[in-house]
Structure 1
Amino acid sequence: MTTIERLWEDYELPVADALHYADGRSYEVALDSTTPSGFSVLSPFDLDEMMEEDPFWVSSVDGLAVVDLGEKGLLWGGEGSMGADGFLARLTADRKLIWAMFFSESNPFTRIRLSGKVATFRSTAEFELTVDIDDPRNPTG
């Protein structure tokens, strides 16, 4: 089991603007209104190393919006425990993590719109992020 899967068992994510995959890959991300998706995927990083440096730098997450994908799982958006943070995720039907993104200054994501395999998540601060639900690194615009 990967570090991110262990954290997700308690519905926790690292407090870092990042995209995490269940297989253990992690990438820095940044809100970016100049891109069609509303964010940029930056460099990969080692989550295990980050967690070794500060194992308590995690946030509980709580879902505020959901789209049921049937047998293909769920899309989930919501808030972290710090107030200004938000997250978006794709889960299996039994709520295991496929991927998740956390943003420390997005505010909670409270709306999700799905069109085919592209989802748009909207936060209370009016950030609108568009993702390919199969792989958020794929361009959507």
Structure 2
Amino acid sequence: MSAIERLWADYNMPDGDALHFADGRSYDIALDSDAPAGMRIEEAFDLEEDLAEDPDAVSDVDWHTVVPLGDGGFLWGGDGPHGSNGFCARVNADRTLVWAIFLHVSNPLTEISLSGSTAVFRSTSGVSITVDIDDPLRSGAV
């Protein structure tokens, strides 16, 4: 079981701006309103290593909006423990994680628009990110 899967079992995520996949891959993210996706996906990093150095650098997340998917899964948008946090995720029908994005300073992601395999997540502060729900790496890779 990957580090993100262990955290997700309690609906927790690492504190940093990042994209995480259930298979253990993690990538730093930078919000960038000039980028087509509203974000840039940057360097890969080792979440296991980061958590070994700072095991308390996690936040609980809560979803506020849900969009059902044709495969029985869902897209979730929500927040973390601070008003500035936002997160979005794709989960399977049993709520296990496919991928998730945590944003430290976006405000809660409370709106989801879905067109085909492209989702736009919007926050209460106007932050907007566009994600290919089948492969989020295509969304904002640099």
Class of the TM-score when normalised by the shorter of the 2 chains: over 0.9
Q: Which amino acid aligns with 2:21?
A: Y
CA RMSD of aligned residues (A): 1.0
Which residue number in structure 1 is paired with residue 109 of structure 2? 109
Which residue number in structure 2 is paired with residue 59 of structure 1? 59
How many residue pairs are counted as aligned between the two chains? 140
By how many angstroms is 1:36 displaced? Answer: 1.0
Where do 1:70-85 residues align within 5 Å?
A: 70-85=70-85
Asked whether 1:20 is paired with 2:20, we answer yes
Q: Which amino acid aligns with 2:60?
A: S
**How many Å separate the matches in 2 of 1:124 and 1:83?**
10
**How many Å separate the matches in 1 of 2:110 and 2:94?**
21
Q: Which amino acid aligns with 1:31?
A: L
Which contiguous aligned blocks of 4+ residues in structure 1 show a shift greater than 6 angstroms?
A: none
**How many Å separate the matches in 1 of 2:83 and 2:12?**
15
Q: Which amino acid aligns with 1:11?
A: Y
By how many angstroms is 1:70 displaced? Answer: 3.7
The answer to whether the 8 Å contact 1:112/1:121 transfers is: yes
Q: Which amino acid aligns with 2:124?
A: T
The answer to whether the 8 Å contact 1:118/1:133 transfers is: yes
Which residue number in structure 1 is paired with residue 39 of structure 2? 39
- 5+ residue gaps, structure 1, are none
**How many Å separate the matches in 2 of 1:139 and 1:22?**
18
1:62-103 Cα shifts (integer Å, max 9, x gaps): 001110014341000100012201001000011100000001
In structure 1, the residue corresponding to 2:135 is in which secondary structure? coil
- 5+ residue gaps, structure 2, are none
By how many angstroms is 1:139 displaced? Answer: 3.6
In structure 2, the residue corresponding to 1:71 is in which secondary structure? coil
Q: Which amino acid aligns with 1:87?
A: F
**How many Å separate the matches in 1 of 2:68 and 2:33?**
28
Asked whether 1:69 is paired with 2:66, we answer no
**How many Å separate the matches in 2 of 1:83 and 1:74?**
24
Q: Which amino acid aligns with 1:82?
A: H
